[in-house]
């Protein structure tokens, strides 16, 4: 029996079940058959009980519930046997129900003066396997498409700003030039820095962070599930770059190399010289590393794999931040801000995407099945 229960999270249906249901079929017959209900004998005559109560100065006496006749132990769970052996059926059933070792949950029903102890016919079977989803995220058109569109548009705006048709840093257009005394105490020591080798190195590290999620997610999962989760990781990077681009276009801050003479004059006077705040490389690096960590965390849980991913990813992203400062492309405040934006977006975007499906194996009196809850 395969039972589906769906909850409407939006007007558009998005059912992502590839692989999840197939893997859960192995749990179909892992439950224990429910025991037959055990019926207790009738309670004492209520009229007689009332008469006895009146005789004892209107004292109320509750009728005793005698244990039912024993059923063959092969037909009853240990919890049911324990409950039937106890004169306090309600308390015994409550204790059995609270025990995590009892897969068959007891329930007590009273009707017509009788107390019946039964096995709950819809008790979920607790799987032995680790309950991590094959897909870490549920994609949603209403969220994902707009985020990609906005991120792409703002990233394009940053590229347009760096072309020769745009204005260079403002301080290069005034007679007094760029004065390092206008900088704060943290950024001032790095005015005039310039080294293209560090810039090239940071390009390589960002590329590594962008490619690394593919083998990390694909080695133990299908291509379709990998594409699903990679989409969220790249969406995090794109959104972070959009925020970075907004700040860059608004601030038009001169890069460190503009304040010195180490960089060629045409580089210092180019529009690219006005794109210092915030660091786009650093923002993207931290967005990629953080969102990759959360993806591994959802896929594999809080283990060595997830925390190693976070440690290595943070180290690589931090090397990008340091490299951008040494290259003379950004001041320390530019990269610190970029790291904060990237890590925040790398956490926020994955948090907007719930796992796509919840599968609960069940057994009842007629057979076994799956209760599948879908996010629609």
Predicted local confidence at residue 182, as pLDDT: 92
Does 230 have pLDDT greater than 80?
A: yes
- pLDDT-based confidence at residue 239 (cuts at 50, 70, 90): very high
Tens digit of pLDDT for each residue in 53-109? Answer: 555 544 444 444 444 444 454 455 565 566 556 655 555 555 555 554 444 445 555
Predicted local confidence at residue 63, as pLDDT: 44
How many other CB atoms sit within 10 Å of the CB of residue 264? Answer: 11
Does 42 have pLDDT greater than 90?
A: no
Rounded to whole angstroms, the Cα distance separating 85 from 132 reads 40
91 close to 106: Cβ distance less than 8 angstroms: no
Identify the bridge partners of residue 266 per DSSP, sorted by sequence position: none
Does 122 have pLDDT greater than 90?
A: no
Torsion angle, alpha carbons of 181, 182, 186, 192, to 10: -70
178 close to 258: Cβ distance less than 8 angstroms: yes
Listing from the earlier edge strand, what are the strands of the sheet with 357-364? 2-7, 367-375, 357-364
Overall average pLDDT of the 281-286 stretch: 98
How many CA atoms are closer than 13 Å to the CA of 60, on its beta-carbon side?
Answer: 1
- Across the chain, mean pLDDT equals 74
Structure tokens at 339: 């790291």
Tens digit of pLDDT for each residue in 208-229? Answer: 999 999 999 999 899 999 999 9
Domain-by-domain residue ranges, the chain?
35-120, 141-355
Predicted local confidence at residue 174, as pLDDT: 84
Overall average pLDDT of the 294-302 stretch: 93
The set of residues, in sequence order, having a beta carbon less than 8 Å from that of 142 and lying 6+ positions away, is 10, 12
- pLDDT-based confidence at residue 240 (cuts at 50, 70, 90): very high
Tens digit of pLDDT for each residue in 154-211? Answer: 878 777 877 766 788 888 888 878 899 999 999 999 999 999 999 999 999 999 999 9
Angle between helices 332-351 and 304-326 (to 10 degrees): 150
What is the sign of the dihedral through the CA atoms of 188, 189, 194 and 197? negative
- Lowest pLDDT segment from 67-81, 146-160, 298-312: 67-81
Tens digit of pLDDT for each residue in 4-39? Answer: 333 333 333 333 333 333 333 333 333 333 344 444
**CA–CA distances in Å: residue 94 to residues 32, 79, 102, 115, 374:** 20, 10, 11, 14, 32
Does 284 have pLDDT greater than 90?
A: yes
Does 233 have pLDDT greater than 90?
A: yes
Does 257 have pLDDT greater than 90?
A: yes
Predicted local confidence at residue 75, as pLDDT: 52
- Lowest pLDDT segment from 75-89, 255-269, 314-328: 75-89
Cα-to-chain-centroid distance, residue 79: 37
**CA–CA distances in Å: residue 32 to residues 78, 95, 180, 220:** 12, 19, 77, 31
pTM above 0.85, yes or no: no
CB crowding 223-249: b at 16 or more within 10 Å, else e: eebbebbbebbbbbbbbbbbbbbebbb
Predicted local confidence at residue 161, as pLDDT: 77
Q: Is 271 exposed, middle or buried (0-12, 13-18, 19+ CB in 10 A)?
A: middle
83 close to 7: Cβ distance less than 8 angstroms: no
Does 287 have pLDDT greater than 80?
A: yes
Q: Which one has a higher pLDDT value, 58 or 45? A: 45
């Amino acid at each position: 029996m395969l039972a589906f229960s769906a909850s409407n999270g939006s007007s558009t249906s998005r059912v992502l079940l590839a692989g999840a249901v197939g893997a859960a079929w192995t749990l179909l017959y892992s439950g224990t058959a429910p025991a037959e209900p055990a019926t207790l004998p009738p309670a004492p005559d209520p009229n007689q009980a009332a008469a006895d109560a009146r005789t004892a100065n209107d004292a109320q006496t509750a009728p005793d519930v005698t244990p039912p006749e024993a059923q063959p132990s092969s037909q009853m769970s240990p919890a049911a046997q324990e409950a039937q052996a106890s004169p306090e059926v309600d308390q015994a059933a409550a204790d059995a129900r609270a025990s995590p070792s009892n897969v068959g949950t007891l329930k007590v029903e009273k009707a017509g003066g009788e107390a019946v102890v039964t096995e709950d016919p819809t008790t979920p079977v607790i799987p032995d396997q680790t309950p991590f989803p094959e897909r870490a995220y549920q994609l949603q058109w209403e969220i994902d498409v707009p985020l990609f569109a906005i991120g792409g548009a703002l990233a394009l705006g940053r590229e347009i700003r760096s072309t020769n048709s745009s204005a260079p840093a403002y301080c290069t257009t005034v007679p007094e030039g760029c004065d390092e005394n206008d900088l704060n105490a943290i950024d001032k020591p790095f005015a005039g820095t310039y080294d293209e080798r560090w810039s090239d190195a940071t390009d390589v590290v960002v590329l590594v962070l962008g490619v690394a999620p593919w083998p990390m997610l694909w080695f133990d999962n299908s291509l379709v599930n990998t594409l699903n989760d990679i989409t969220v990781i790249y969406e995090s990077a794109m959104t972070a770059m959009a925020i970075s681009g907004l700040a860059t276009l608004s601030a038009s801050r001169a890069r460190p190399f503009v304040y010195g003479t180490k960089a060629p004059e045409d580089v210092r006077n180019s529009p690219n010289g006005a794109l210092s705040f915030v660091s786009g490389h650093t923002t993207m690096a931290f967005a990629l590393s953080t969102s990759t960590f959360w993806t591994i965390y959802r896929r594999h849980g809080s283990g060595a794999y997830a925390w190693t991913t976070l440690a290595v990813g943070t180290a690589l992203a931090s090397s990008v931040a340091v490299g951008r400062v040494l290259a003379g492309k950004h001041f320390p405040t530019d990269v610190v801000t970029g790291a904060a934006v990237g890590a925040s977006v790398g956490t926020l975007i994955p948090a907007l995407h719930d796992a796509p499906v919840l599968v609960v194996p069940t057994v009842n009196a007629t057979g076994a099945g799956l209760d599948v809850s879908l996010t629609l």
